[in-house]
Structure 1
């Protein structure tokens, strides 16, 4: 039996009020009881302003994440409930329109395919890949830019991207002519002519594939086998790519902001527990422009602060009331700067915050960068470092493994009290 669930939100607006700037949908499977499992659906969607968004969407059912004044507003809509083991479509067709764009996309279609049958390898239904993007990504027309999307999968599956195709993924499926897409979810922009400047609608689909042949069992007990060429989830990743007028220089750190330490690397994983606060410190520089703001996509109750030009902090405390436990939460951000009337963005960076006692998942490192896993923990002991180094190292290793790191890690306690971990 095929179960099709479609959430429809229809409110017609005039083309002059067009303001859709993209969305990312995701789902996470959690508790399993018999033939029923709990699934959390998260919808992040952008519009040209918070006021316009409130005018057509249900009042009070969404939470604001962040906004770039005068350009976009990002909000989140979350649902959770119990489902039988089955597979279905979940999403909506908007009665609104994309902002004006160069590739002629008008009506957005946002729908995800959920594989809700029980997997034989993990004994629960599949969770979709986790990713994030800002509603508007921008680059000067004369500068090279790669956008490496986060490709984290909670089940350790292989993740690929493609352009949307077909009526359930896009109404008009014309990809941006100025972007090239790799299957590994990297978008590449090369310097182009001023005639190509403007906004483009990007409509991608992210999919996950099992690493080996597995069995899928539905609520009736019927079982089928799928292999590594069969996608299990399809989620939309949609945003606006804006090609701005040429910059005086494309060197990172001059007009285009450049990230500095202690900004986490792209793809870093953080492990925390419910009711435990995470603090992400972000630092950037731009010598020929003025850094004005940090823009991010993440949990709606994340707090953003600035402590001077180019210094920012993101803080978040997950809670049971928001179903944050045993879930992976993507956080993506850019730093934005201005010079005269021009706006410049840094590269996109994304990290994953994993809440609760869930396994460590290795993710591919982007080119020329390292992967970082950050754990916040406290271990108290009356043992002296001088005489009990081995015992303390074992206690730290045991706690790291309990938090989800692989059992073959090597822990070394340094003389200054810091800890070095290798695998």
Structure 2
């Protein structure tokens, strides 16, 4: 599927869509449904056979031309889905899905809506199992944009079986498919998507929505590389203080009861005057502390000695006990400042393409060939066959003839 659009004097847009499809039999009709956006309706529809072959499998290729008119230039998508692929080595069969993304926004570089890449290929090709080959896919853009090729994605409805066969390598930037080797012969199906990206940043303007910018794609993929600046951030950790609780060990008051002592003394005639032995209090000076503990008083009951009329009274003894305090010093742990360098990081941001068109075909891997030299079993192209990438001039309403010549002195070629 390719498309070409132009703006009309009345502000509308005329879009011409061209597509080619190949079946086992020739088809004269096909349908494309609207996947997103406003897709308008057909102004005209034509479809007819352009080629057929019995090479490998019978196939017939037809081309269709659809024209539609739009009164806004918003993006929209068309999809064509059905069943089934021809029998292939990987999935046996399976549905196919073709998606076309069309953006009619006015380009700031051309002052016209975008035009899709132009592409085509044979629907069925063959290669000997032991002969590596590279197929340069046609990918020309009339706006001079950079065209990239990739495998279709299932969640975008860009493919049906969505397989990337082993033994093949797709160069997305060059739009070339290389065959190396595979142990399993048979048919392999390819569901590719072509996207175009501007060579410089441009703006797309719309009639009823804000403008958007489109950037070039990098050479290693449809991505822009955003490089952050490598800065070094200094992280300072404040001193960490671990307070320890002030622990005070209280000393319980100690009371030593002294039982009364009675000593019997035989009576005498000599009166003994009462004897009092004062016990001075003992005081231990205590240094000042933050948490005073009240003194512990040990009351000593009076000791009375009875000897008849003789009585000795011992006054109570008070012994102040110094408070016992366990002082735990605060512990402060200081973590030195650390410097953590922030390394430069690379973030990939996918670039948004201007359009997307499908390109799908089958390739049959045959058995071993005695020789891989071009001109023996594999045809060798000769003049006046155009070189890959060569530009051919064409005029409106004039027929363009492309001559192709090739030879192979061992194998047989058929049209």
Q: TM-score, normalised by structure 1?
A: 0.59
Q: Deviations over 1:3-50 (max 9, x none)?
A: xxxxxxxxxxxxxxxxxxxxxx11112344353221110111111222
Partners of 1:200 and 1:259 lie apart in 2 by: 25
Matches within 5 A, 1:244-259: 244-259=366-381
Matches within 5 A, 1:246-395: 246-293=368-415
Partner SS state of residue 358, structure 2: strand
Aligned to 2:65: 78
Partners of 2:22 and 2:162 lie apart in 1 by: 19
Partner SS state of residue 289, structure 1: coil
Partners of 1:81 and 1:262 lie apart in 2 by: 38
Aligned to 2:360: 238
Partners of 1:258 and 1:110 lie apart in 2 by: 33
Partners of 1:113 and 1:45 lie apart in 2 by: 18
Aligned to 1:200: 188
Partners of 2:215 and 2:67 lie apart in 1 by: 29
Structure 2 residue 18 is the aligned partner of structure 1 residue 28: no
List alignment gaps of at least 5 residues for structure 2. 33-44, 217-350
In structure 2, the CA distance between the partners of 1:232 and 1:279, relative to structure 1 (3 Å rule), is same
Partners of 1:91 and 1:26 lie apart in 2 by: 13
Partner SS state of residue 212, structure 2: strand
Q: CA deviation at 1:61?
A: 4.4
Q: CA deviation at 1:262?
A: 1.3
Aligned to 1:300: none
Aligned to 1:336: none
Aligned to 1:64: 49
Q: Deviations over 1:217-276 (max 9, x none)?
A: 112263222222321111111111110111121111111111111111112222232232
Contact between 1:35 and 1:219, CA under 8 Å: does it hold in 2? no
Partners of 2:200 and 2:395 lie apart in 1 by: 31
The structure richer in helix per residue is 1
Contact between 1:48 and 1:72, CA under 8 Å: does it hold in 2? yes
Q: Deviations over 1:361-391 (max 9, x none)?
A: xxxxxxxxxxxxxxxxxxxxxxxxxxxxxxx
Contact between 1:32 and 1:124, CA under 8 Å: does it hold in 2? no
Contact between 1:28 and 1:41, CA under 8 Å: does it hold in 2? yes
Structure 2 residue 18 is the aligned partner of structure 1 residue 42: yes
Partners of 2:408 and 2:215 lie apart in 1 by: 48
Contact between 2:46 and 2:66, CA under 8 Å: does it hold in 1? no
Q: TM-score, normalised by structure 2?
A: 0.60
Partners of 1:103 and 1:192 lie apart in 2 by: 12
Partner SS state of residue 242, structure 1: strand
Contact between 1:103 and 1:175, CA under 8 Å: does it hold in 2? no
In structure 2, the CA distance between the partners of 1:76 and 1:145, relative to structure 1 (3 Å rule), is same
The structure richer in strand per residue is 1
Partners of 1:231 and 1:253 lie apart in 2 by: 40
Q: CA deviation at 1:79?
A: 0.3
Q: CA deviation at 1:106?
A: 0.5
In structure 2, the CA distance between the partners of 1:108 and 1:248, relative to structure 1 (3 Å rule), is same
Partners of 1:178 and 1:33 lie apart in 2 by: 52
Which of 63, 69, 81 is the matching residue for 1:93?
81
Q: CA deviation at 1:87?
A: 0.3
Aligned to 1:222: 210
Query: Higher relative CO (CA 8 A, sep ≥ 6), structure 1 or 2?
Result: 2
Partners of 1:55 and 1:226 lie apart in 2 by: 36
List alignment gaps of at least 5 residues for structure 1. 1-24, 294-423
Aligned to 1:170: 159
Partners of 1:209 and 1:57 lie apart in 2 by: 28
Aligned to 1:188: 178
Contact between 1:160 and 1:207, CA under 8 Å: does it hold in 2? yes
Aligned to 2:114: 126
Q: CA deviation at 1:202?
A: 0.3
In structure 2, the CA distance between the partners of 1:40 and 1:55, relative to structure 1 (3 Å rule), is closer
Q: CA deviation at 1:212?
A: 1.4
